[in-house]
Amino acid sequence: MQLDELTKEEINRLAKPIWSSLIISANERDYQSFSKDFSTEMFKHATREIINNQWENTPMLTSLKPEPEFMGYLKNKGRLRVLWKQKSSATDDELLGHLELIIEGGQVKVDGAQIV
């Protein structure tokens, strides 16, 4: 699969289950499920300790609403950045979700995930 050749609809179909899984796992504070699609590099930077600390200190990260709105994407060499409008029950603000996907070992992997 070439990420830069996917259509908007294909990107949404590919990324939405991955993003939804991250939301559910974050809300449950389940690092094992949260990290199941991480790339090798992502595992180095998003360790159990770091993620648990973020969950502990940032309530909006563990109260995400399960209805993200697909906003669009950016294609780069070997990398796909998918953007979501995300809400949390901890705030009335709209949040930006950012998911980075790569192909590693022939599989789609999460190489970045962020809520701002």
pLDDT per position as a tens digit, 49-102: 999 999 999 999 999 999 999 999 999 989 999 999 999 999 999 999 999 999
Cβ atoms of residues 108 and 14 within 8 Å: yes
CA distance 46 to 43: 5
- Which H or E run includes 112? strand 107-115
pLDDT at 109: 98
For the entire predicted model, the pTM comes to 0.93
Mean pLDDT score, 21-47: 97
Cβ atoms of residues 14 and 1 within 8 Å: no
Fold of domain 3-115: Nuclear Transport Factor 2; Chain: A, (3.10.450)
Residue 7 has pLDDT above 90, yes or no: yes
Q: Angle 40-71-19 (CA atoms, 0-180°, nearest 5)?
A: 35
Q: How far is CA 107 from CA 21, 94, 112, in A?
A: 16, 31, 15
Tell me the domain boundaries of the chain.
3-115
pLDDT at 1: 79
Q: At 24, give phi and psi (nearest 5°).
A: -60, -45
Mean pLDDT score, 30-57: 97
pLDDT at 98: 97
